[in-house]
Structure 1
Amino acid sequence: MSNKVVYTSEDNLITRQNRAEEIFLEAFEAEKPVLGNAHIIVNPYLINPLSALILFKTDKEVEATLTVHGKRNSREDIVHTFTKTTSHALPVLCLYEGMETKVTVALSSGESETFMIRSEELPADVCRCNNARTSMDYFGDNIMFLSPAGKNLPTGYDYKGEIRWLLTINTMFDIKRLKNGNILTGSHRFCRMPYNSTGLVELSMLGKIYKEYRMPGNYHHDHWELEDGNILALTQDFTTDTVEDMIALLDRETGEVLRTWDYKDFLPQNVGGSGSQDAHDWFHNNAIWYNKKDNTITLSGRHQDAIVNINYDDSTLNWIIGDPEGWPKEMVDKYFFKPVGDVKNFDWQYEQHACVVCPDGDIMCFDNGQYRAKVKEKYIKNTENFSRGVRYRIDTDKMEIEQIWQYGKERGQEFFSPYICNVEYYGEGHYLTHSGGISSIDGWASDGLGAFLDPEDPSVELRSVTVEEKDGVVMYELDVEGNFYRAEKLSPYHDGENLVFGEGKLVGNLDVTPTFDTIPELEEVDKLISSEREIVIEEDEDRLVFHGMFEHGSLAMVILDGENDRRGYYLNTAAVNHLAMCSGAFLEKDDRQLKMNISKNGLSGKYNIKVLYNDSIFQTGVTIYC
């Protein structure tokens, strides 16, 4: 029996990006190239293979207009003008894959230069477009950005369905553009199952990470930039028995948690539950929307089939949209709406995602429709079900609700997504509906979530379909391989955007990883643990991630044996049945394969890493210094 433990130690991606930037800026400042011999760095920040950076100097302050030429005709060109400067750093976005892209830089002084830039190769398993249906006149140079729901990657598609933007790290959940032009999304760094990441990352479209906001309760699903720049982020308190039922207010500069909202303060647990509810994940918050007009927060609770509105200042409950069956009568009478209007065609939403507050106060969401009932006896089979985008008009004085728009019901099971997805409001009658969790087996809607299916099985098909409708006419439809959490249409460049250099930073803090109360007194053997356990230890600047293979029901623990203290971290080897899996990024093919994040917060000194397995404590041969 062989013994082998794999250990890797790598600087944080931000540190590696800082080092890469320092190297190319040092060369740039030393050589001071003019436009004719500009420095061109492909994938300058290591994670966007369809990007480049053009660096050059001019004697006088001039504007630079960048044109990324379309490969078919000039109508496909992406053009952006940067503000005046003498030191020019032009991000080149949306390079074509597998070919040289023609890029022209024209200065306001009259000078011009054209370059041919070849992008780096994309990973072999990127999700390709099955079909794209729109026109250049409608879609223009926008890119449809899809955020992953599995082990696929954040990907941007042009109007033809060609991949023009991609990150080679699996950043998670929604991609939102900030007021400064950067995007904010979930970190790719694993923290806790099933899909909690360390926090949020603010990065440019080029891929440069400016900040990673680490959170003690980790990040999941959604976030919101407030007017003052601070961030509302969905989180939880891991010292309690529940998850996905808190908001954290983050300081934009420091990442400090300024305030939290706990949903147990204004909602009862385990009432009015959806078919996926359990006591641990009783609410399952998957969306947040702040409305400045009335200073309220709207939340989407998948596991209560409920869209909930609360006051920002005091967390008091205002109203609930959803099927009232199963809720206490006193709450139904006070907080729920009564359908009016065309009630024959009215449908409540079930296990919904992505609540949106329209300018007039109407509420939109993606109605997944999972089970489409509150009690098991009424559940609808996925093959007979539908998903849709829906818009409700609510009257909070009369507590009445009217369904005024929907898209998707008419498409039946082929548009059905039991999880993830979103809607967007662009203007009156102009909406996006993203059905990103479509999964089928032999052509029929699958019973399980796409994240749990094997995409290599020839009978399995995973798809995402994104539709834009204007005044009842479908103007855009993108059908791609794989499941994607959300879709966001954005222009690749932002008005007035100039790349800002400087060190990216890790801000905020991870929690102190809880230890087990006692470490069993077992024999400590002086040999490495068996290779059958497939131990991998990944060390980062602020944590380590332990991977191992353990049979269900076995006793297993990671032990950090320090000079001054000894800490045990219990590994739960019980089989876990996840009722929700909005991102399968951290799932393993074999459910005996376990991962544990151990934060370095609270650790000090030298630690030998050992593994307790069944009746012995084994060595790993790995030592870390904190």
Structure 2
Amino acid sequence: PLTAVIRNGGYQLRDVHVRIVPKENGQEIAYKVNNKYLLTYGGIPVFGLYPDYVNTVEVEYTRIQGSKTENIKESYKMYAPPAYIESAGTKEEQSALFTIDVKKVSPEFKDRLYLLNNTKDKSGNGTRTVWNNPTGGALEWNFTTANAIIDTSGDIRWFMNPSSIYDLKSIYRAGVMMGFKQNQDGALSWGYGQRYVKYDIMGREIFNRRLPDNYNDFSHSMDNAANGHYFLRVASSNYKRPDGKNVRTVRDVIAEVDQNGVVVDEWRLFDILDPYRDVIMKTLDQGAVCLNIDASQSGHTLSEEDLAALDSSDKFGDIVGSGAGRNWAHVNSVDYDSEDDSIIISSRHQSAIIKIGRDKKVKWILGTPAGWKAPFNAAILTPVDSKGQKIACQDSGCEGDFDWTWTQHTAFKIDSKSKGDILYLSAFDNGDGRGLEQPAMQSMKYSRSVIYKIDQKNKTVQQIWQYGKERGNEWFSPVTSITEYQTDKNSVFVYSATAGGAFDLSVGAFTSLPNPYLEEFKWGEKEPAVEMQIHGARGYQAMPFSLTKALTE
């Protein structure tokens, strides 16, 4: 919704320009329309209408009928209905939609549009079903999302009404919508539950596919490669463990599919990595494991005995624990590196960013060396300072400002700044279990947005930028969030997606919805060029959205 098509009336149209007249002090949306989209939609696509408002839409175009050509200027009045996002029916909800506090927008970022991929809480309409034959997996991880595009004035200019493609009560049409990417052709790709899809911003379906039968439970990340392939973070639908038990695994497989949905390769992380490395699992706050917020487990961590008892049991599924069939890896991002035909993954429950080749061999590991056995310990990157000198480190941390990431999200290569063995990498360091421990007080926790420079040949890593430590607990996001470089403005985009909620320290749980921070930084700067706070939203991730890619190019 908040789009329209002005039909062509039987004429040929060319050279179209569209302008949505802004509200007072609002953001102008104006764009040229590529002729191919005039043919695709049978008219002029209109994007960015204000909800519950009579919009003024100005269009200019060339109209052709036979040998007659006219230059036309017109203005249309269009009412767009209110934005609507389905309620989860939970006590934390206080309004139908979030509100936005625009704190700062530098002039060169005034034209930005941001796609918000927020989530609703678990409700009685979902989380009803678990897998059998075999057991395990994360089918019950099922709640609706709240996706919208906002401008830098804080107005909603597009939102998703998923009802025609999504049904919370259906196994194969539900899940959590995640992994949004704007492809080079301007369309959006993402996945949810047992599906992965691609649609354009006007709602045109490009594909909507079931996961291949060898896999289940898409979530978190779907990366698009230049050759049209997609890298899906999924899980195995049937894996025989070394103890002979058949299970569905949890968030620990990357499947590569081609343009036609055929699987051309897979990375089975339970075979590639050590699914019994448990040093991080013993330090996790069990009250906040990704979006599984459970106040009854706040402050509780798992012991060696807990993990051993769990592994000998038949308890499988979306629970933290060692071994395939449990949430031992919790991979929340995958990024394909075409330069050496590898993938970079972020494993929350290993507090590690890992590069793995097409040969399924680990190239390097960015994270604490604690608990990594041979051959993985030889792949751990050594922290160095700006002069290339080794930094003194222990398993729990290093001297100076350098730190590893802890329960991080979104490990992305910065392609335009990387070359050969030198790789720049962005990540969101959530910070739970920082230093291999839970702090004395919840208020001591903090998150960071961080950029690293990795020398892949010499196996070293330098931290070149961070933001968030100085903001302290108010900016802390226990789960979710994103840091991603933006080539078009040489900037770093950050969404601290579960920050700013009212938090009850006695139970370690949100008593109100979070109030995420959305920020964008000029490269290398310590103060944001853009800062907005979204009140009353449980964020997952967000990203700048390019209207030029979507309708002009």
TM-score with structure 1 length normalisation?
Answer: 0.64
The match for 2:188 among 179, 183, 188 is 183
Q: Does residue 430 of the first structure (1) align with residue 435 of the second (2)? A: no
CA contact (8 A) 2:26 2:153 kept: no
1:163-312 correspondence runs (5 A): 163-169=156-162, 172-187=177-192, 197-215=193-211, 216=213, 217-218=215-216, 219-240=218-239, 241=247, 242-253=249-260, 255-271=261-277, 272-274=279-281, 275-276=283-284, 277-279=320-322, 280-312=326-358
Distance in 1 of aligned mates of 2:408 and 2:14? 50
Could you say what secondary structure the match of 1:303 adopts?
Answer: helix
Stretch of structure 1 that moved more, 361-370 or 60-69: 60-69
The offset of 1:259, in angstroms, is: 2.4
> CA 1:208/1:460 → structure 2, altered by over 3 Å: closer, same or farther?
same
* Aligned counterpart, 2:410: 354
The offset of 1:426, in angstroms, is 2.1
**Letter of the aligned partner of 1:309 in structure 2?**
K
User: Is 1:369–2:431 an aligned residue pair?
Assistant: yes
Q: How far, CA to CA, are the matches of 2:264 and 2:457 in structure 1?
A: 33
> % of aligned pairs identical?
24
* 1:478 alignment partner AA: M
2:97 to 127, 145, 157: 127
- In structure 1, the partner of 2:8 is 56
Measured after TM superposition, the shift of residue 443 of structure 1 is 7.5
5+ residue gaps, structure 2, are 63-69, 86-94, 121-143, 167-175, 240-246, 285-319, 386-390, 392-398
Superimposed CA distance per residue, residues 435-472 of structure 1 (whole angstroms, 9 cap, x where no aligned partner): 00125436869724xxxx5xxxxx52411111111133
Shift of 1:286: 0.4
Contact 2:54 2:78 in 1 (8 A): yes
- Structure 1 residue 146: Cα displacement: 0.9
Residue 161 of structure 1: aligned partner:
154
Structure 2 residue 136 is the aligned partner of structure 1 residue 143: no
Q: Deviations over 1:319-343 (max 9, x none)?
A: 10001112226532x1112222174
> Alignment partner of 1:138: what SS?
helix
Q: Which of 301, 306, 316 lines up with 2:361 in the alignment?
A: 316
Aligned in 2, Cα 1:485/1:284: closer, same or farther, shift over 3 Å?
A: same
Which whole-Å CA distance do the structure 2 matches of 1:446 and 1:161 have between them? 33
Q: Name the SS for the 2:434 alignment partner.
A: coil
Counterpart selection for 1:116 from 50, 66, 77:
77
2:463 is paired with a residue whose SS is strand
Deviations 1:179-198 (A, max 9, x none): 221100124xxxxxxxxx12
Q: How far off is 1:380 after superposition?
A: 5.7
Once the two structures are superposed, what CA deviation does each residue of 1:573-615 show, in whole Å capped at 9, x if it has no partner? xxxxxxxxxxxxxxxxxxxxxxxxxxxxxxxxxxxxxxxxxxx
CA distance in 2, matches of 1:489, 1:62: 28
When residues 247 and 70 of structure 1 are mapped into structure 2, their CA distance, relative to the original with a 3 A threshold, is: same
Q: CA deviation at 1:112?
A: 1.8
What's 2:292 paired with?
A: none
CA contact (8 A) 2:411 2:426 kept: yes
Structure 1 pair 320–469 and aligned structure 2 pair: CA distance change class (3 A): same
Contact map agreement 2:27 2:151 (CA 8 A) in 1:
no
Query: Which of residues 82, 102, 120 in structure 1 aligns to 2:34?
Result: 82
Q: Counterparts of 2:264 and 2:384 in 1: how far apart (Å)?
A: 41
Partner of 1:340: 384
The match for 1:469 among 504, 521, 527 is 521
Aligned-partner Cα distance in 2 for 1:380–1:402: 29
Q: Any conservation in 1 of the 2:106–2:529 contact (CA below 8 Å)?
A: no
- Residue 208 of structure 1 and its aligned partner are, at CA, apart by 2.4
- How far apart, in 2, do the equivalents of 1:73 and 1:409 lie? 34
1:373-410 alpha-carbon deviations (Å, 9 max, x no partner): 33x5x556431011011111222333222211001110
Name the counterpart of 1:103: 57
Conservation of the 8 A alpha-carbon contact between 2:515 and 2:537: yes
Q: Partner of 1:607 in structure 2?
A: none
Q: Distance in 2 between matches of 1:366 and 1:134?
A: 22
Deviations, residues 474-504 of structure 1 (Å, cap 9, x unaligned):
1101211212111110123426559xxxxxx
Q: Deviations over 1:332-367 (max 9, x none)?
A: 2x1112222174111111000000112321221000
Q: State the AA in 2 paired with 1:413.
A: N
Query: Deviation of residue 135 (structure 1)?
Result: 3.4
Q: Is the 8 A contact 1:55 1:88 kept in 2?
A: yes
1:305: how far off?
0.3
Q: How much does 1:82 deviate?
A: 3.0
Aligned residues: 427
Q: Deviations over 1:505-554 (max 9, x none)?
A: xxxxxxxxxxxxxxxxxxxxxxxxxxxxxxxxxxxxxxxxxxxxxxxxxx
Which amino acid is 2:492 matched to? Y
- Name the CA shift for 1:420/1:116 in 2 (closer, same or farther; >3 Å): same
Q: How does 1:601-616 map to 2 (within 5 A)?
A: none
Q: Quick one: structure 1 residues 270 and 447, their matched pair in 2 at CA, closer, same or farther if it must change by over 3 Å?
A: farther
Report the counterpart of residue 411 of structure 1 in structure 2.
471
> In the TM superposition, what is the alpha-carbon distance from 1:67 to its structure 2 partner?
1.6
The structure-2 alpha-carbon separation of the partners of 1:166 and 1:491, relative to structure 1 and needing over 3 Å to count, comes to same
Query: Separation in 1 of the partners of 2:105 and 2:255?
Result: 41
SS at match of 2:201: coil
Distance in 2 of aligned mates of 1:172 and 1:336: 33
Structure 2 counterpart of 1:91, which letter? Answer: P
Match for 2:267: what amino acid? Answer: W
Cα separation, 2, equivalents of 1:306 and 1:117: 50
Q: Distance in 2 between matches of 1:267 and 1:207?
A: 40
Larger Rg: 1
Q: Secondary structure at the match of 1:392?
A: strand
1:413 positional shift = 0.5
- Return the TM-score normalized by structure 2: 0.72
SS in 1 for 2:354: strand
CA contact (8 A) 2:32 2:552 kept: no
Q: Distance in 1 between matches of 2:12 and 2:119?
A: 48
One-letter code of the match for 2:539?
F
8 Å CA contact retained: 1:173, 1:220: yes
2-side partners of 1:258 and 1:68: how far apart? 44
Change in Cα spacing, 1:211 to 1:443, as seen in structure 2 (3 Å) is: same
2-side partners of 1:391 and 1:462: how far apart? 25
Q: Which residue of 2 aligns with 1:328?
A: 373
Q: Which of 452, 460, 482 lines up with 1:400 in the alignment? A: 460
Q: Secondary structure at the match of 1:469?
A: strand
Change (3 A) 1:251 1:338: closer
Structure 1 unaligned regions, length at least 5: 1-47, 188-196, 454-458, 499-626
Which residue number corresponds to residue 385 of structure 1? 445
Deviations 1:396-430 (A, max 9, x none): 33322221100111001000011110001125972
Q: Secondary structure at the match of 2:376?
A: helix
